[in-house]
Structure 1
Amino acid sequence: MAKVCRKVSIKNQPSDFAYWQSRSYEERLACLEEIRQEYHGWKNITEQRLQRVYTIVKR
């Protein structure tokens, strides 16, 4: 698959709305579900940290 990159001015940028309107509802829902799953994956990621252990010593 060849990577394609186009440089366009903001004024001549194609509309995202028109693109998604041209897709079937099944395709739009599939993409929405993919975005939703990706978001929940990012949301639930926590950084691994060292566990702290506390000990109480009687003096």
Structure 2
Amino acid sequence: MEKVITRINIKQQTTDFQYWQQQTPQKRLETLEQIRREYHQYKYNAQPRLQRVYRACFISHE
């Protein structure tokens, strides 16, 4: 994700909603994923990983 900083007068500022409506769905998802990773790092101080799931299967031998 490329970081871009733009300075504008506060009176000329558009809303965040308008900005995100102009972005492609792919760009929105990429940004959301980046925010999720940063939050996970901040909250848990760990790299996000897949959760382990265990399932017990019982097979009857009739």
Query: Normalising by structure 2, what TM-score?
Result: 0.55
Number of aligned positions between the proteins? 42
Report the Cα distance in structure 2 between the residues aligned to 1:39 and 1:15, rounded to whole angstroms.
23
Q: How does 1:1-59 map to 2 (within 5 A)?
A: 6-9=7-10, 11-45=11-45
Answer 1 or 2: higher relative contact order, Cα 8 Å, separation at least 6: 2
In the alignment, the residues of structure 2 paired with residue 26 and residue 39 of structure 1 have an alpha-carbon distance, to the nearest angstrom, of 20
Alpha carbons of 1:31 and 1:6: their partners in 2 closer, same or farther (altered >3 Å)? same
User: CA-atom RMSD, angstroms?
Assistant: 2.1
What residue ranges of structure 1 are gaps of 5+ in the alignment?
46-59
Match of 2:9, SS?
A: coil
Q: Report the identity percentage.
A: 43
CA distance in 1, matches of 2:15, 2:34: 21
Which portions of structure 1, spanning 4 or more consecutive aligned residues, are displaced by more than 3 angstroms?
A: none
Q: 1:43 to 1:4 in 2, by over 3 A?
A: closer
